[in-house]
Structure 1
Amino acid sequence: MSIILKIWIAYLLDLILGDPYWFPHPVRFIGKYITFIENKIYSLKNKKVWGGVLAFTVILSTVVLSYYIARMSEFLEIFFLYTTLATKSLGAEGIKVYKILKSGDLQKAQKELSYLVSRDTGEMDEVQVVRSTMETIAENSVDGIIAPMFYAFLGSFILIDGVSMALPLAMGYKAVNTLDSMVGYKNDKYIDFGMVSAKVDDFFNFIPARLSGLIIIPIATFLLGMGIKKPLKIFFRDRKNHSSPNSGHPEAVFAGAIGVQFGGKTKYFGKYFEKPTIGDKLKEFQCEDIKKCYKIMFMTSFVGIVLFTAFIKLV
């Protein structure tokens, strides 16, 4: 079975199954592994160095283990490739917040959103909940879909002893992303210890974020009838208006397509920050805008896998 077919099967499995709550997802084990190592070394001096050791150990272990999993069985390879993608689960989480807001239970929506974002949600009004939900869908369209897909296809070019590196690179990316989500914060605890993890995540998202913002998401918005001119205009103007060197790229296209403005006053770890704005405020945020984000995200996943496949076939 070709590696391209395996990736397509994994993609379809993700669309059908998503990430059931009862399922022992590999990312959870990566997270536990990170916590285990962190507990052993966090108290040591020179936190930047030991934080680097954490990142190197977790990423290398994940890549090596994934290589041997791919070597063992094609079915295991497909299964673990499926777990690197998060199209259905990301969409489901966004729609869950949408449905709660439609029911009128703002407090419950705040609570549900808190599971998706690192910002403080307890004092958010409905507009802020909608904005934050949309921002996380936009950002994670790269982290949870396009980036692992990109590294799976990139790995398909590489064979080591007859084994494709598609799964090792895709799972290695998930390790990178999990490290950043757990220790890559600029707070007192992780500003030094998580520095390497954050920088590595920035590096590995550099190309996927730009491919998504410049090509993949604009095509998706065009196919959905949202146009392509406005999203690209906002992309080129506002893609750097973000503390992350990568997150602004997808967010700019989503904001441009829907006609809203991301950024602004946001609370993290008990402190308010004024985030740079992305997009033009052509209208106020509405609950239905979450569904628009949902549609863009799903179309983005489809456009991404089609374009990556076409590229592989042409090379």
Structure 2
Amino acid sequence: MTVSLILLAAYVIDRIVGDPRRLPHPVIGMGKAIHAVEQLIRRFFTRPQSLRVAGILLPLIVVGGAWLLTAVLLWLLSLVSPWLVWLAEAWLISTTIASKGLKDAGMAVYIELHKGDLPAARRALGMIVGRDTTTLSSPEIVRGTVETVAENIVDAIISPLFYALLGGAPLAMAYRAVNTLDSMVGYKNEKYRDLGWASARLDDVANLIPARIAALLLALCACLLQLDWRRSLRTVRRDAHRHPSPNSGYPESAVAGALGIRLGGENVYHGVASFRAYMGEPLRPLEPEDIIRTSRLMLLCSSIFVCLCAVVAWFWIGG
């Protein structure tokens, strides 16, 4: 029962508490560690070829360090009491999940759109996306929000729970290190093309299975919420591979198909326009309520998956 209860407790903690600002968050520590290791590497590796080699070293140090520190912490707590280990595992795993934060971020945009305050909605969206939001129309704000919530169903919920099931808090924390690395150095620009390539590839590999699981679960959730699950699956088969990411297209296309909307199109990053392949069909215009529908899909999908993980832990791992 222990693993099952830890997973369920971690998810409940995240749904209720989220990420309190007053408590230290492991991801902040990971970000500081990544920055420190990057600076150290750049002191000793300056040429492009050597940076590509160091690109392998960076995730080995950061991801391996996250796993090791978590495992050592749990081992030390086990010397005191198994109860401390279980409580620590539940809390640590909860910090790798962001269902409440994802819902809150989407609703912050929806509230401003509902009030008709476009500048405030743009600012709220700008807090969670990298694209330029200063001139976006209401439908484009909705698109950006829906895309972000849909994409992060994998990164912020399914993948952390998947790795927590396989390896407890140490592996869940290692995954969060992978994801944080990708968000910080996994860019194909001049600065990170050589140093960040391995981090970006590792993130792609880590999310490969969870992204496909998410697409199937989203179709199931579409059925349960009386949305079009058949169109959701068709859209995944047709459009998921068009996304520049090998994984993000799966949840985005599943949501687009379920809602009967089209995602993708032109985004602007630091003044440079970039076109992202379309996902879904524009059967109707985008509207603010699509943010609520996407949040419902996300929350139901995450609830079903954590229950599945608990069942698997009970029968396969033996509790």
Q: What's the TM-score, normalizing by structure 2?
A: 0.92
Instruction: Name the structure 2 match of 1:103.
Output: 115
Instruction: Name the structure 2 match of 1:244.
Output: 245
Name which of structure 1's ranges 290-299 and 101-110 shifts more when overlaid on structure 2. Answer: 101-110
1:50 to 46, 49, 54: 54
Q: How big is each residue's C-alpha offset from its partner over 1:209-259, in whole Å with a ceiling of 9 and x where there is no partner?
A: 01111x211111111111321111111111111000000001011000111
The whole-number CA distance in structure 1 between the counterparts of 2:313 and 2:233 is 26
Native 8 Å contact 2:8 2:307 kept in 1: no
Instruction: Name the structure 1 match of 2:255.
Output: 254
Q: How big is each residue's C-alpha offset from its partner over 1:15-73, in whole Å with a ceiling of 9 and x where there is no partner?
A: 11011233321111101111111122235322222222111100000000111222213
Instruction: Name the structure 1 match of 2:136.
Output: 124
1:192 to 188, 191, 194: 194
Instruction: Name the structure 2 match of 1:175.
Output: 177
The whole-number CA distance in structure 1 between the counterparts of 2:308 and 2:238 is 25
Name which of structure 1's ranges 171-180 and 190-199 shifts more when overlaid on structure 2. Answer: 190-199
Deviation of 1:314 after TM superposition, in Å, equals 4.2
The whole-number CA distance in structure 1 between the counterparts of 2:204 and 2:302 is 21
Instruction: Name the structure 1 match of 2:98.
Output: 86
| Equivalent residue runs for 1:129-140 within 5 Å | 129-140=141-152
| Equivalent residue runs for 1:140-289 within 5 Å | 140-155=152-167, 166-213=168-215, 215-289=216-290
Taking only the aligned residue pairs, the percentage that are identical comes to 39
Q: Give the 3-state SS of the residue equivalent to 1:245 in structure 2.
A: coil
Larger fraction in helix: 2
Native 8 Å contact 1:263 1:278 kept in 2: yes
Instruction: Name the structure 2 match of 1:17.
Output: 17
Q: For residue 128 of structure 1, what is the amino acid of its counterpart?
A: E
Q: For residue 126 of structure 1, what is the amino acid of its counterpart?
A: S
Q: For residue 31 of structure 1, what is the amino acid of its counterpart?
A: G
Q: Give the 3-state SS of the residue equivalent to 2:313 in structure 1.
A: helix
Q: Give the 3-state SS of the residue equivalent to 2:194 in structure 1.
A: coil
Deviation of 1:180 after TM superposition, in Å, equals 0.4
Q: For residue 48 of structure 1, what is the amino acid of its counterpart?
A: R
Cα-Cα RMSD: 1.3
Instruction: Name the structure 2 match of 1:163.
Output: none
Instruction: Name the structure 2 match of 1:294.
Output: 295
Q: Give the 3-state SS of the residue equivalent to 2:155 in structure 1.
A: helix
Native 8 Å contact 2:157 2:302 kept in 1: yes
Structure 1 unaligned segments of length 5 or more: list them: 156-165
Native 8 Å contact 2:260 2:280 kept in 1: yes
Native 8 Å contact 1:69 1:77 kept in 2: no
Native 8 Å contact 2:232 2:256 kept in 1: yes
